[in-house]
Amino acid sequence: MTVYDIVITGGRVVRGTGIRAEDIGIKGEAIAKVDRHVDSGSAARVIDATGKLIFPGIIDAHTHPVYLDDCGGLSRTAAWGGTTTVIHYAYAKPGMKLVDTVQRFKDDCDRDSVLDYSIHGALFDAANQAEEIPAVMEMGVKSFKMFMPYAKLKWMTDDYWLSAAMDLIAQGGGLAAVHAESGLAIDYLEDKYLKSDMDQKDVFLTTHPDVLETEAVFRAICIAEVMGCPVYIAHVSAARSIEVIQAAQARGQRVYGETCPQYLALTDEEVRRKGALAKIGPPLRTREDNKALWNALQNGVIRVIASDHAPKDKKETDDFFEAPFGSPSAETLLTITYDEGVNRGRIDPCCLVRALSEGPARIFGLYPKKGAIEEGSDADVVIFDPSKTHTITHATQHSGAPYTVYEGRACLGAPVMSLQRGRVVLEDGELRIPPGQARFLPTLQNK
């Protein structure tokens, strides 16, 4: 008879393929048994999950621990939201070495993170950093992001260096990610409209139209096709972009789409109401775009929901164009997408698991150790109470950011417990795990 360290009983296990009443036996760091009934008589601990949903650990594949939350702080705020694995973007700004940046992120996370983690390389100066891609791949980092906008800031990767980077990434069996917006066109429009007396919030929305996202998505996909490089389109916000992604997928090209809770739950009206607090790039769009994104998740064109957590110090009354992009969103990733998606009938829990757990695990080569509730998988589990009511306010959040864009929003459903590799992370409204136990997860090792 197998003696388990933990047995979870009475819950309904949610997989991408269905929901089933099953018990889970955990031994050490792994799931040892999943069945209708697991003998819990000799278990060191039995967790009653009656009336709860059991998800694989949530993987947040798009996080930025470079602002008001560092690697430790971001991992904690994400853990409060039920996330068990984070994938950070290691920002190598102009003048910085990509290898050194990735090593610093690994050192910081090994010391301070409470969650297992992977890293994406982020090239802000591809002309001088692309040559480091093979060396960074040797460090276990095989996904790399380039920025197609931000020419004024000298962060834009032009088509020459986007091609060069994708060529190197493809040779190493990696994955290219892009922030897809047409930077030079946007900069021209800003120069034009900022001379007018138009409200700055309207200038922002006018100068970042959906078609300039879609054009950049199309261009990135075309270059990736020529270079034979898989491409990941980060934070898709526009319905028109979905059409381009779907067409490439239908041709058999390896193109992956990611969206974020803000593009599923909020619209451009939030920009007009909350000013700089809702300044996000790409911008919030329309209800029609929200609907198209939910449909794309349900039919599998969009494979990932990630937070794009970027907590910054700003106020509603800040000068709009001087205010930074981004918002805190790691802690609300699961609750917002469950409430907005499942509770409102836009997707089912299985689709949510595909987008928050299985999808990112498969794309980044972490499956089935992560993103699955199967025998032999890491014991990363989220126990979710679909009947738990709560209201999101800044006071209840754990990010260093001074606000949340979801202030006052009532939600139904919340994580009440999580485990990472068999260790309890979240329980009874408290974090139970100290820093220093995180594990670095090399990506795309089997691609």
Domain extent listing, the chain: 6-53+376-431, 57-363
The stretches of 98-182 forming alpha helices (DSSP H) are 98-112, 126-129, 133-137, 159-171
- Using one digit for the tens of pLDDT, what is the confidence trace for 227-255? 999 999 999 999 999 999 999 999 999 99
CB 161 within 8 A of CB 126: yes
Task: Quote the pLDDT of residue 353.
Answer: 98
Alpha-carbon gap, residue 168 to 133, rounded angstroms: 7
Helices 98-112/71-80 angle, 10° precision: 50
CB contact set of 301 (below 8 Å; sequence gap of 6+): 242, 245, 246, 249, 257
Class of domain 6-53+376-431: mainly beta
SS3 of residue 83 by DSSP: strand
pLDDT of 446 > 70? The answer is no
Q: Give the residue-averaged pLDDT of 72-91.
A: 98
The conformation of residue 235, written as its DSSP 8-state character, comes to: S
The end-to-end CA distance of the chain, in Å, is 38
Of 1-10, 140-149, 326-335, the poorest mean pLDDT is in 1-10
DSSP track, 373-433 = -STTSB--EEEEEEEEEEEE-GGG--SSSS--TTTTEEEEEEEEEEEETTEEEEETTEE--
CA nearest to 54, candidates 425, 421, 385, 383: 383
CA 85 – CA 83 distance, rounded (Å): 6
**Domain pair 6-53+376-431 / 57-363, same fold:** no
Q: Are 73 and 407 in contact (CB under 8 A)?
A: no
Compute the half-sphere exposure of residue 304: CA atoms within 13 Å on the CB side of its CA.
Answer: 26
Which of 421, 391, 425 has the alpha carbon at shortest distance from 407? 391
CATH of 57-363, one of 3.20.20.140, 3.40.1280.10, 3.30.200.20, 3.90.850.10: 3.20.20.140
- Enter the pTM of the model: 0.97
Tell me the pLDDT tens digit for each residue of 372-428. 999 999 999 999 999 999 999 999 999 999 999 999 999 999 999 999 999 999 999
CA angle 351, 431, 24 (to 5 degrees): 50
| DSSP letter assigned to residue 440 | B
CA nearest to 130, candidates 183, 166, 170: 166
Question: If DSSP codes are grouped into helix, strand and coil, which group holds residue 204?
Answer: helix
The amino acid present at 245, given as its one-letter code, is: I
Whether pLDDT at 143 is above 70: yes
- Evaluate if residue 447 carries a pLDDT over 90: no
